[in-house]
Amino acid sequence: MIKIVKKTVLITFLCCAFFKVNGQTKVTFSNINSDTKISKHIYGHFAEHLGRCIYGGFYVGEDSNIPNTNGVRNDVIKALKELKVPNLRWPGGCFADTYHWKDGVGPKDQRPSMVNKWWGDVVEDNSFGTHDFLNLCEVLEAEPYLAANVGSSTVKEFTEYIQYVTRENGVPMSDYRIENGRKEPWKVKYWGVGNEMWGCGGNMTPEHYANIYRQYATFMTDWTNSDGFYRIASGANVADYNWTEVLMREIPKNLIEGVALHSYSFVEWDKKGSATDFDEAQYFSTMQTALKMDELIQKHTQIMDKYDPEKKVDLIVDEWGGWYQVEEGTNPGFLYQQNTMRDAMIAGTTLNIFNNWAKRVKMANLAQTINVLQAVILTEDEKMLLTPTYHVMKMYNVHHDATLLPISFDAPNYEFNGETLPAVSISASKDKNGAAHISLVNIDSKKENEVVIDVEGLKIKEISGQILKSNNLQDHNTFNNPNNITPSKFKDFKLKKGQLTLTLPPFSVVVIEGK
């Protein structure tokens, strides 16, 4: 987790040619023959041993009265499969650099307990370990993303972990895995080499971490990386551009496939405010930090382009989302918060930004999946609900591995107290069957916005759509009313002579499909 200082927001758009016609926002496609793919891994998730994310969220144990498969809640499995989760990052976060994997394998009644020093100082029994996580990923058909311990571990422990997980047989660690009940190795491609090394991972300088990274990455595989591992360096804290500069300069390109970036959205770091009881000033401020993601990616990408013009190293935003005060009466170290239409605005605009930067951004991980920060699922004993953020991500899964359709438009302003933000956010893609999908967000808290999209070149004849909206920004789903906010059919559009005109209500998310 991170601490940042909010700065003045600067929003930039790809392929920017700007148009406004009669007060309407005019959107054009600048290249309908684009070959840029929107990686499905942009829609990844993050499950840390933090609060009730793992224990009580994912995992209730095999003996629980809550229906489960090998201890993992069946309702959670069903919801995440419907979300088409492409990858899942585990076990942290800050927790990763205190986690020793051997404590979480073998007979569960023989595993040592540990103190989760970062999150609540609680004692964990290691009953959810590597086998549980990787088997869960297989059930979800999601790629596992293992964040390995660098801060308090050794190269030997790291390389043994890789052998335990991925080696078929013939070495002590593969034999150990087979002894623990798993004959076939798992397919684990994505490996994080530490987490937030500038902070909880060891308070390192970028120069020191670059050397540590080189050491770990070297021993992960052979000289040619024939195992096909995708090695992700612990990247910058928000606008720490020097961190990215040092890593890109000092790490040979044959040792790295991705560099991470972390950025959260909030009112002020020391005054985050309530997740549900907030005013427009707090909403506007939160959206300023959320929309700053575009500037962050632009500037980190400029540095990466200087050292890697061929774009062989990807930008991985493996922690993002809204961060507020915990719900009243809950453990402050558990980071449990509700999820409102404000979070739907964060999700929709951020995912649009990632889509539009798809040439460099190849993976992202929302923090976090269940019961922590901007979660897609909340649980309470046997109860479970899906948040507005869940619904946005499900609406957007039409973009998974689709071809980016770059767009050009001039966003209208959302004005508050003399400051402005772009009110409308848009991204678009074409799937393998030729259907076009356009995702639009209007963050304006009071005004609807009319958008005119020139779709003539796409040869669209049929239009359908979904919308997520509510009466108040503070609205959210509760265990007593879990369907208070759900998507509905979008009808406020017309298609005439290749022009698609639609009206976006205040603080709404719309996804259009054109065939």
Quick check: is 1 in a domain?
Answer: no
pLDDT digits (tens, 9 = 90+) for 259-281: 999 999 999 888 899 999 999 99
CATH at residue 144: 3.20.20.80
Q: What's the CA gap between 9 and 287, in Å, rounded?
A: 10
Please state, in angstroms and as integers, the Cα–Cα distance from residue 210 to each residue in 43, 79, 235, 238, 245, following that order: 28, 39, 10, 18, 11
Whether 311 and 441 map to the same domain: the answer is: no
**Catalytic one among 48, 160, 257, 319?**
319
pLDDT higher than 90, residue 227: no
Yes or no: say if 165 and 186 are a contact pair by the CB < 8 Å rule.
yes
pLDDT the model gives residue 39: 98
Whether 472 and 388 map to the same domain: the answer is: no
pLDDT higher than 50, residue 195: yes
Whether 324 and 435 map to the same domain: the answer is: no
Whether 350 and 443 map to the same domain: the answer is: no
pLDDT higher than 90, residue 115: yes
pLDDT the model gives residue 132: 98
DSSP 144-165: EEEEE--SS--HHHHHHHHHHH
Whether 52 and 106 map to the same domain: the answer is: yes
**Which residue type is seen at 274?**
S
pLDDT the model gives residue 362: 98
Quick check: is 12 in a domain?
Answer: no
Map tokens 């591995």 to a residue.
401
Q: What is the dihedral of CA 178, 180, 184, 187, to 10 degrees?
A: -130
Annotation says 319 is catalytic: yes
pLDDT the model gives residue 23: 54
pLDDT digits (tens, 9 = 90+) for 410-462: 999 999 999 999 999 999 999 999 999 999 999 999 999 999 999 999 989 99
Which residue spans within 122-215 are E strands per DSSP?
A: 122-124, 143-148, 190-193
Map tokens 């929309």 to a residue.
291
Domain end call among 378, 407, 436: 407
Domain end call among 407, 433, 450: 407
Quick check: is 33 in a domain?
Answer: no
**Catalytic one among 48, 124, 196, 257?**
196
Domain end call among 407, 438, 458: 407
Whether 400 and 478 map to the same domain: the answer is: no
CATH at residue 489: 2.60.40.1180
Q: Could you tell me the residue range of the domain that residue 217 belongs to? A: 39-407
pLDDT digits (tens, 9 = 90+) for 340-393: 999 999 999 999 999 999 999 999 999 999 999 999 999 999 999 999 999 999
pLDDT the model gives residue 247: 98
DSSP 398-410: GGTTPEE--EE--
pLDDT higher than 80, residue 13: no
Whether 364 and 384 map to the same domain: the answer is: yes
Whether 231 and 317 map to the same domain: the answer is: yes
Quick check: is 31 in a domain?
Answer: no
Q: What's the CA gap between 312 and 425, in Å, rounded?
A: 28
Whether 391 and 422 map to the same domain: the answer is: no
How many folded domains does the chain comprise?
Answer: 2
pLDDT band at 225 (very low <50, low <70, confident <90, very high): confident
Yes or no: say if 391 and 439 are a contact pair by the CB < 8 Å rule.
no
Quick check: is 14 in a domain?
Answer: no
pLDDT higher than 90, residue 222: no
Whether 342 and 476 map to the same domain: the answer is: no
pTM over 0.85: yes
Quick check: is 433 in a domain?
Answer: yes
Quick check: is 508 in a domain?
Answer: yes
Whether 70 and 183 map to the same domain: the answer is: yes
Q: What's the CA gap between 474 and 445, in Å, rounded?
A: 11
Annotation says 419 is catalytic: no
Quick check: is 427 in a domain?
Answer: yes
pLDDT the model gives residue 358: 98
Whether 109 and 128 map to the same domain: the answer is: yes
pLDDT digits (tens, 9 = 90+) for 278-332: 999 999 999 999 999 999 999 999 999 999 999 999 999 999 999 999 999 999 9
Q: Report residue 370 as tokens.
A: 């269940």
Q: What's the CA gap between 297 and 303, in Å, rounded?
A: 10
